[in-house]
Amino acid sequence: MRQTRGGGRQAAKALSQQAKARFSLPPWRPGALAPGILRLCVGVSCILAPRPAPAQDAAIASDLWRVAAGTLVEPDAVASNGAAALWTPAVVLNASGASLRVGIETIHTPSDIGVNGGIAAVSIRVGSLGTLNAVYARIGLDDLVRTETSPEGLEGSIPVYAQVLSVGGARGVTPALLVGAALRFESGRLADLERSQVGLDVGIVYTGITGFRLGATTRFWDPTLGASEQASGYAFGGQYRTEDFPLWGTRGTLVARYGLTLLHGESPQQLLAGGLVLGEVVELDVGAAHEKTDAEAVWRARFGLSVRAGRYRIVVARDAGVNDFGATYRFGLSAVLR
């Protein structure tokens, strides 16, 4: 069993007691879940933070995805990587270009946090109907164990995971306006509490202003406006690309990005990022995300590197975490067929 840091032990214990009362976990003694709950708070942006009871239930199936979203250097609403269909339904393959795109991404954190996940996405151009997008993704916490009076873990681990299956479509309404919708089935588990829910996400992307790409999307939205809606999010984003210019024997382009995410009961989360594209082959991005928890404002540094080789694109990204503790890494590979 991993040891917690002394400074966070009391907070972890309090959260563990809250989890016991709210989720009716099996009997345990002080310290039984402290390391695991501390890892949840650091790596999952406090999935057990105080919320209304229905929102806490719904968060089981959705909040772990905030770890993966933290590695995006481009705003969710204008995402364009191989697994972009997980973040926005408005993913359209150019009618004169790609007919099929396949993307696979993995999410990892250091072993003392233990978050691991994977995303698989397929986008297929279906003639004049637009683009069909399908996604399966799963993320979880590994090696969480219960203890009693000794640091030795009891037999069996505590299951903590979230997964989503998504099918949707997108198309261009006008040459400058893309719209998309996706039906998402989400499920999750936190110890003995399980949650399943169905969401409907919609997204739009507008490119009618030279150099700009503007977008908006929902995340895990409950169209019935029931309890699950309390765990949904709303993302807005913009990107500006300069005209290309000569640089180091090739053509360079500068990119500026801004993203805003709204979540129920939380302060807005913002992303500021910039990038340099070299010959449409190499792209280097750096940025910072701003979050506010209680009275404390937190900045999280982000880094991304993308390399294209023919029909393939490789992506490496890193979210530095809070005070460089709890970093998250994303590795992706996508392929395009024409």
Question: pLDDT, tens digit, for every residue of 224-237?
Answer: 666 566 677 899 99
Each residue's pLDDT tens digit, 119-140: 999 999 988 889 999 999 999 8
> Does the residue 305 lie in any domain?
no
Per the document, the length of the chain is 338
Residue 304 has pLDDT above 80, yes or no: yes
Domain residue limits at 145: 65-241
pLDDT score recorded for residue 90? 92
- Tell me the average pLDDT of the chain: 78
3-state secondary structure of 48: coil
Considering the entire predicted model, what is its pTM?
0.77
Q: Following CA atoms 117, 204, 261, 134 in sequence, which dihedral angle do they give, to the nearest 10 degrees?
A: -10
Is residue 267 in some structural domain? no
Residue 284 placed within a domain: no
21 located within any domain: no
Evaluate whether residue 163 is within a structural domain. yes
User: What is the pLDDT at residue 149?
Assistant: 59
Lowest mean pLDDT among 80-94, 245-259, 321-335: 321-335
Main-chain dihedrals φ then ψ at residue 20, nearest 5 degrees: -60, -45
- Using the predicted structure, report yes or no on whether residue 218 has a pLDDT greater than 80: yes
Cβ atoms 290, 270 nearer than 8 A: yes
pLDDT-derived band of residue 245, with 50, 70 and 90 as boundaries?
Answer: very high
Packing angle of the helix pair 34-43, 9-23 (nearest 10 deg): 100
For range 164-179, the mean pLDDT: 93
The amino acid present at 307, given as its one-letter code, is V
Residue 268 inside a domain? The answer is no
Q: Residue range 288-310: average pLDDT?
A: 86
Strands (E), 207-268: 212-219, 233-241, 245-247, 250-263
Q: Which residues contact 202 (CB under 8 A, 6 or more apart)?
A: 89, 179, 180, 181, 182, 217, 218, 221
Q: Rounded to 5 degrees, what are φ and ψ at 321?
A: 75, -175
Structural domain count, the chain: 1
- Three-state SS string over 102-163 comes to EEEEEEECCCCCCEEEEEEEEEEECHHHCEEEEEEEEEEECCCECCCCCCCCCCCECCEEEE
Residue 285 lies in a domain: no
Mean pLDDT, residues 302-330: 86
Please indicate, yes or no, if residue 201 is contained in any of the structural domains: yes
